Amino acid sequence: MKFAFFPGCVSRGGCPELYPAAKKVCAQLGIELDELQDRGATCTGAGVLQEKNQFLGDVLNARTFAIAEGLGLPIMVICSTCQGVMSQANKRLKTDPNYLAKVNEQLSEEGLEYKGTASPRHLLWVLVEDIGIENLKTYVRRPLSGLRLAPFYGCYIVRPSEDLEFKLYRDREDSLEKVMEALGAEAVDFPGKTRCCGFPILTINEKNSVQMVANHTSSAKELGADALVTPCPLCHLNLDGYQPSAMKQTQQDINIPIIHLPQLVGLAMGFDPKELGLSRHIISTKKVLSKIQVAG
Amino acid sequence: MQVIVSVNRFDPEDSKGKYWQDYNLEIGENSTVLDALIKIREEIDGSLAMRCSCRSAICGSCAMRVNGHARLACNTKLVDMTDDAGMIKVEPMTNLPVIKDLVIDQQMFWDKIKQVSPWLQSEGPEPKGEYVASNESMNHLSGVMACIMCGACVSDCSALEVDKNFIGPAALAKAYRFVADPRDSKSVERLGVLNEYSGIWDCTRCYECVEVCPKGVGPMDRIMALREEAISVGYDNTIGARHADAFSDLVEDSGWLDELRLPIKTVGIFNLPALLNFAPVGLRALVKGKMPAIFHHNVPNVENVRKLFKRIRNNQNIDD
């Protein structure tokens, strides 16, 4: 199994623990990765660049898709935001041939052309759709039994569900819970699981953004979760990095760890927590590790 | 088929507060959630309060939360929503006060709509006949004009959940309908107001409103169009606009995001209070080895990316 790998900016920026964890897990699963950024792929625009210029954002994503087409490989991402922004751009490009032609006109100077065959997918979906839940269980060396985990998807991997082809791929709706259970943990039914973490308005309205962090982390804790698990590094940045601010703003003790999806899979595979970057979180992961009898 | 409709009930004259009540009923396979609620009210429990009228997804009266998301009860089939035990959960919309059971107080919704002056404001001499607008411009607006004011987008809005001052998706979609109307002469003034606090930049871009809108209005897409429009007419000094600018410049420069420089570039290198505000978070990240690299590398062939940015910008300036 081989993918054109698009790790996104945050997995090597604000969440540098994510990138190596994802690479280790993929290697263990026998997934070969061809790094798209080494071949010149750019940031997706994250929806922010699109606020200023959606056409430019679509051209950048079409360029990445064209590079992957050239390699003859499907694209894999490890960020909900990358997933959503790519899927939205791809839908516009695939449904309007005139628009695609206009975008390709911009790419032609570099000798690139997007033919419309890309279908970027998150590692989470690859685990469920390609590796398969039953097969994933065979990689578990350290079952996460006893752990109660609250899923936190991140907006862009669940909405708009039409762009993400949820009707075609029914398992996507509860993919995170399926993976957690395959690894031996218990998924906590959590009303905040598909809500916004607040990250996109962090610099614009910090109070509102931090309030969202407080609401989600405290409600997961009240439901008895040991940690939240997310496939989105932007959610991680806010839920982990701004949890101290959330505790201060709402004057409560929350302290619930936020774990990246690949870290969770890696833990169950038996990797050392340090290798997975679990000591590089703002909110300590030690309580979670001790619950599965691993030293942090 | 047999279904269990679990309804979140509330009566202000009862001390019980909010509680769930389950109704078991036998109903036809093709029934909607509204059919079930009407059957409950008429045959089982006359005290159940709800709004409904047209039963055809036109009037917008029967918006409520079904299994945790706002929808119109009249165009939601029961079979699509019931779980393995044949149960669905029905609640009033959120972000608006509940009057009784499934009936919410719409006052806040209408106040916000009124805030955007939802009428055409034309200037100059009145034409002899009607105001003329091109087919193209009206086709573009037909999507947003499909809004039936049901309030589903307001109910599930993430920003409104934490800040009731946010003007919200329905009012902003309505504002776009006038900003983008060629017969309106107040677009720039309208954008000026929407650019203020609690306006277009407070949206979290979470797509909840796009997902729940029963008429395909896509409120968030309209908010993004308003942001683009506001920047293009010169409202480019809000923190939101500067954030988009800084983001775009950094991607143009290296091909990918330099996360260390993004906040600094957004608030401005000489804005000491704002920079100091980042200090505790930055320090915590530094201690944990989470800081992005100080020396940010470029993606290979970054000159092609820079050329692309420049060419697209130039072409668009010519088009304008």
Please indicate whether, in this complex, the C-beta atoms of A37 and B299 are within 8 angstroms of each other.
yes
Residue B163 has pLDDT above 80, yes or no: yes
Instruction: Using alpha carbons, select from A280, A292, A30 the residue that is nearest to residue A183.
Output: A292
**Residue A146, CA atoms < 13 Å, CB-side half-sphere:** 9
The residue type found at A66 is: A
pLDDT for B131 equals 86
- What backbone phi and psi angles, to 5 degrees, belong to A275? -60, -30
d(CA B216, CA B184): 24
Structure tokens of A284? 């300590």
**Residue A215, CA atoms < 13 Å, CB-side half-sphere:** 18
Residue B27 contacts A where some CB pair is shorter than 8 Å: no
CB B240 within 8 A of CB B227: yes
Residue B300 contacts A where some CB pair is shorter than 8 Å: yes
Strands B63-66 and B87-91: antiparallel
Q: Name the H helices within B64-151.
A: 78-81, 107-115, 135-145
Q: Which residues pair with A186 in a beta bridge?
A: A148
Model confidence at B289, pLDDT cuts 50, 70, 90, reads: confident
pLDDT for B165 equals 97
Residues 122-161 of chain A whose Cβ lies under 8 A from any Cβ of chain B: 155-156, 159-161
Model confidence at B320, pLDDT cuts 50, 70, 90, reads: low
d(CA B154, CA B96): 8
Per-residue pLDDT of A213-242, as tens digits, reads 999 999 999 999 999 999 999 999 999 999
Residue A21 has pLDDT above 70, yes or no: yes
Residue numbers in B near A196 (CB within 8 A): 158, 204, 206, 208
Q: At what angle do helices A97-107 and B302-319 cross, to 10 degrees?
A: 130
Instruction: Using alpha carbons, select from B141, B231, B217, B224 the residue that is nearest to residue B177.
Output: B141
ipTM (interface pTM): 0.94
Per-residue pLDDT of B56-114, as tens digits, reads 999 999 999 999 999 999 999 999 999 999 999 999 999 999 999 999 999 999 999 99
Neighbours of B210 (CB within 10 A): 23
pLDDT for B109 equals 98
Residue with tokens 């056409």: A55
Q: At what angle do helices B302-319 and A54-71 cross, to 10 degrees?
A: 140
pLDDT for B282 equals 87
Among A17-26, A119-128, B88-97, B227-236, the least confident range: B227-236
d(CA A48, CA B114): 29
Residue A19 has pLDDT above 70, yes or no: yes
Residue B319 has pLDDT above 80, yes or no: no
- Report DSSP state, residue B132: P
pLDDT for B269 equals 84
Interface test with A, best of B207, B284, B286 (most A CBs within 10 A): B207
Model confidence at A294, pLDDT cuts 50, 70, 90, reads: confident
Strand order in the sheet with A32-35: A32-35, A2-6, A75-77, A121-122
Residue B44 has pLDDT above 80, yes or no: yes
Residue A23 has pLDDT above 90, yes or no: yes
CB B70 within 8 A of CB B93: yes
Buried b (16+ CB within 10 A) or exposed e, A209-242: bbbbbbbbbbbbbeeebbbbbbbbbbbbbbbbbb
Q: Using only the alpha carbons of chain A, give its radius of gyration.
A: 19
pLDDT for B272 equals 84
Instruction: Using alpha carbons, select from B66, B68, B10, B1 the residue that is nearest to residue B34.
Output: B66
**Residue A54, CA atoms < 13 Å, CB-side half-sphere:** 17
| pLDDT > 70 in chain A, percent | 100
Burial class of residue B289, CB neighbours in 10 A (0-12, 13-18, 19+)? exposed
Please indicate whether, in this complex, the C-beta atoms of A211 and B162 are within 8 angstroms of each other.
yes
Per-residue pLDDT of B239-284, as tens digits, reads 999 999 999 999 999 999 999 899 889 888 888 888 888 888 888 9
The residue type found at B22 is: D
Residue B31 contacts A where some CB pair is shorter than 8 Å: no
Neighbours of B192 (CB within 10 A): 15
Please indicate whether, in this complex, the C-beta atoms of A54 and B316 are within 8 angstroms of each other.
no
**Residue A210, CA atoms < 13 Å, CB-side half-sphere:** 18
CB A73 within 8 A of CB A4: yes
Neighbours of B276 (CB within 10 A): 10
- The mean pLDDT value of chain A amounts to 97
Q: What mean pLDDT do residues B13-35 have?
A: 97
Closest partner residue to B202 among A53, A159, A205, by Cβ?
Answer: A205
d(CA A68, CA A1): 15
Per-residue pLDDT of A174-219, as tens digits, reads 999 999 999 999 999 998 999 999 999 999 999 999 999 999 999 9
Residues 258-297 of chain B whose Cβ lies under 8 A from any Cβ of chain A: 258-260, 263, 266-267, 277, 280-281, 284-285, 288-290, 292-293
Model confidence at B292, pLDDT cuts 50, 70, 90, reads: confident
Residue A155 has pLDDT above 60, yes or no: yes
Residue A43 contacts B where some CB pair is shorter than 8 Å: yes
- The mean pLDDT value of chain B amounts to 94
d(CA A145, CA B178): 56
The residue type found at A164 is: L
Residue B204 contacts A where some CB pair is shorter than 8 Å: yes
* 3-class SS letters over chain A: CEEEEECCCHHHCCCCCHHHHHHHHHHHHCCEEEECHHHCCCCCCCCCHHHHCHHHHHHHHHHHHHHHHHHCCCEEECCHHHHHHHHHHHHHHHHCHHHHHHHHHHHHHHCCCCCCCCCCEEHHHHHHHHHCHHHHHCCCCCCCCCCEEEECCCHHHCCCCCCCCCCCCHHHHHHHHHHHHHCCCEECCCCCCCCCCCHHHCCCCHHHHHHHHHHHHHHHHHCCCCEEEECCHHHHHHHHHCHHHHHHHHCCCCCCCEEEHHHHHHHHHCCCCCCCCCCCCCCCCHHHHHHCCCCC
Q: Residue B176: enclosing H or E segment and its boundaries?
A: helix B169-179
Distance to chain B for A231, nearest Cα, Å? 16
d(CA A8, CA A41): 10
